[in-house]
């Protein structure tokens, strides 16, 4: 499972994760010498909508060229840019765009594939779809804090405030960082919690791992974000 830790100049730590672990996300497969191209799609949550682009690279397309579009996942809908369901799309100057929309709620996480076909050639892109209530992102307000001060954690859930969102347990592996035992999402599908720290004194800078865990059906998600705690005496 992919986990990315991004640190901005303001020490804002972000952990992003998909909720399922099938084939690699964003892979594009095409038939040999296919004139078609689809953009890779990142993992999506219940309720997400993204714009996908299909290219016809023949260089000499007819004015009425049309690409057939197929979704292999019933929870993933293909629509034109006005929100109308589509199974095909006219190509204007070799390029066309359409919406990929994930319904909400999505009862079970899974893998989705979209296939485009034109004149006997085809191209396919795959991506993960996270179920309703699964963790979409986990962030800490700061990657470093002076002991005695507080930081906070924010968890967002797929499908917004969908009732399927479950309670998440919170743990700290350091006695210098105290967290609540669990948090639950609000009506907007977001959960916040405080991290109270104490002065590590002679221990110097201390690393605390702030871990969240979630269980939905048979799936277990566990993610940790690091928090550095320093003593006020060294500042």
Structural domain that includes position 210: 133-234
| Same domain as 108, residue 42 | yes
pLDDT, one tens digit per residue, over 71-120 is: 999 999 999 999 999 999 998 888 999 999 999 888 778 899 999 998 88
| Same domain as 69, residue 137 | no
The CATH number of the domain holding residue 230 is 2.60.40.10
The count of structural domains within the chain is 2
Concatenated DSSP letters of 146-189: ETTSEEEEEEEETTTT-TT---EEEEESSTTEE--SEE---TTS
Nearest-Å Rg of the Cα atoms of the chain is 22
Look at residues 102, 130, 158 and tell me which one is the last residue of a structural domain.
Answer: 130
pTM tops 0.75: no
User: What was the pLDDT predicted at 64?
Assistant: 81
């Amino acid at each position: 499972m992919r986990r990315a830790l991004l640190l901005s100049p303001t020490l804002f730590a972000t952990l992003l994760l998909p909720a399922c672990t099938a084939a690699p996300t964003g892979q594009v497969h095409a038939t040999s010498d296919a004139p078609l191209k689809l953009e890779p799609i990142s993992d999506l949550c219940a309720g997400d909508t993204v714009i996908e682009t299909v290219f016809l690279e023949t260089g000499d397309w007819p004015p009425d060229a049309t690409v057939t579009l197929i979704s292999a996942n019933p929870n993933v809908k293909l629509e034109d840019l006005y929100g109308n369901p589509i199974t095909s799309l006219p190509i204007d100057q070799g390029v066309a765009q359409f919406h990929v929309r994930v319904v909400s709620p999505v009862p079970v996480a899974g893998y989705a594939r979209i296939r485009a076909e034109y004149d006997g050639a085809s191209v396919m892109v795959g991506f993960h779809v996270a179920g309703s209530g699964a963790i979409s992102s986990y962030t800490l307000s700061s990657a470093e804090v002076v002991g005695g001060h507080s930081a906070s954690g924010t968890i967002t859930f797929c499908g917004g405030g969908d009732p399927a969102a479950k309670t998440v347990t919170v743990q700290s592996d350091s006695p210098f960082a105290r967290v609540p035992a669990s948090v639950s999402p609000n009506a907007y599908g977001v959960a916040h919690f405080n991290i109270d720290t104490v002065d590590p004194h002679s221990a110097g800078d201390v690393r605390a791992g702030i871990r969240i865990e979630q269980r939905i059906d048979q799936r277990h998600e566990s993610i940790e974000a690091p928090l550095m705690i320093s003593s006020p005496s060294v500042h």
